Amino acid sequence: MAAWISSLLFLCVIASVHLKYLSEDEDAKRELAEYIQETKKSINPRWRLHYHVIPPVGWMNDPNGFSYYKGEYHLFFQYYPYDSVWGPMHWGHSVSPNLVDWRELPTALAPDEEMCFSGSALVDGDKLVLMYTGRLNTDTDPFYNETQYLAFSDDGVNFYKYEGNPVLARTPDGAYDFRDPKIWKYGDYWYVVIGSSTHDARGRVLLYRSQNLYDWEFLTVLGESNGELGYMWECPDFFELDGKYILLMSPQGLEPQGDRYKNTHQTGYIIGSFNYETFEFVPEVDFQELDFGHDFYATQTLDADGKRIVAGWFSMWELPHPEDVDGWAGAITIMRELKLSGNRLLQQPLDEMLSLRNGSVHNGSFNKDESLVFEKTGELIINGDLEQKIELEIAGTNGGNNIWIRWEPEVKKVVVDRGGDVRQVEWSPIGSRSWRLFLDASSLELFCGEGEVVFSTRFYPDGDLRVNSFSDQSLNVEAHKLRRSVPV
């Protein structure tokens, strides 16, 4: 009897401690939610995007946990609500029924002893499971430790961390950089790719598998830099598309080569074949950039009804983020469908983007020295003679930054010029010869032809948006207003 009473008392103490921690956790969540709602009131709206996922307040970087659960698409993101610069990482959370209309949910993860770095999500039965990198500061060189954590939800809103974290504590060779797990299921196993670096500073991607999500077996180095593809491969993704396998990642440390690799860090892909018996990925097409604009990094993809959808961080490291003085920073690109065409990936806006159209601005010829004005947002479909130069300026009606888009027929290059900071690439149309241009307060996304060339760039005009033509030729332009699809 005494032993039974002792055991009962012990369980009561444990339950009491557990309830105390749950209560403290709920208090912290409530305080954070109240802080966000109060801080929203002071956000300057001048550059806030209208149809892109943005943080309610504070800082945002990588998209995380892109998934479909209980009838909605879930998109998480790296998040620091307490300032508009990078800080101890949380996971923000938005959901959508259609990948176009988004609403905010409560912050999904907050740091305890670990910062909640990037990761992914999967559905396991009735649970939504997050796998993310726990980053801990240490007192010894390199002053951080990166391991892989799990968190669970029964409703897609409230998450609890696995008590046995971390589930993956180190790389096979003890390398320090070990982050950004992207998880999927094939057959009876869960697989995950994780970004890493060798001891001699060459980027690589590691492949693991598990039957239960808790015990992981290292399989192979899926891909590795030969010394020319950077010192760290962040945010890896690995998927099959039209019979080929795509290794998508964000290498850090690539040296510029002519028009290529002009950003601080890059995002691109390798096309190859893969065997689930030998775990060997055989590259068939060398690394290619996915997006040629100024602000595109840290992609994540989702298989949605047989379509491979990609989203990226609509910003860039180690550059000014002018909106940070307004109480927020960072955004996510519009969702794009990836298609494989020969030896390259195409990016195309989702058909659902048509639902944003909210009135016509123009339909017909657009001549030199004419202008079109948009109230913060717009979509343009532009057709011209590619034997002649095309030159468009996008400026604020009240000044601020402007940006130029050009077609240079002599060199067959599309150019996006942000005040002398130029991104350009050769374009050979494989079908359509149109441009499709999305504008949103402080952003530009340009899709050329079938999506074989895409630019994602942020810029900061004042007032509404004015598109001016300086083309000697008459263009044909169809232009639309676009409605808001994210919270104010």
Contact in structure between 53 and 443 (CB atoms under 8 Å): no
- Is 62 a catalytic site residue? yes
Question: How many whole angstroms separate alpha carbon 479 and alpha carbon 232?
Answer: 42
What is the β-pairing status of strands 232-241 and 217-224? unpaired
What is the β-pairing status of strands 232-241 and 413-418? unpaired
Question: How many whole angstroms separate alpha carbon 213 and alpha carbon 201?
Answer: 29
Of the residues 25, 62, 139, 472, only one is catalytic, namely 62
Residue type for position 369: D
Of 285, 310, 283, 280, give the one whose Cα is nearest residue 298.
310
Question: Cis link prior to 45 (omega < 30° from 0)?
Answer: no
Alpha carbon distance, N-terminus to C-terminus of the chain:
62
Among positive and negative, which fits the CA dihedral 372, 378, 381, 384? positive
Under DSSP, the state recorded for 218 is E
Of 454, 424, 446, 241, give the one whose Cα is nearest residue 341.
241
Question: How many whole angstroms separate alpha carbon 424 and alpha carbon 406?
Answer: 9
Q: 3-state class of 325 per DSSP?
A: helix
Among positive and negative, which fits the CA dihedral 70, 71, 73, 77? negative
What is the β-pairing status of strands 58-69 and 328-329? parallel
Helix, strand, coil percent values for the chain (each to nearest 5): 10, 50, 40
Of 296, 407, 328, give the one whose Cα is nearest residue 55.
328
Of 336, 447, 327, give the one whose Cα is nearest residue 54.
327
Active-site residues: which are they? 62
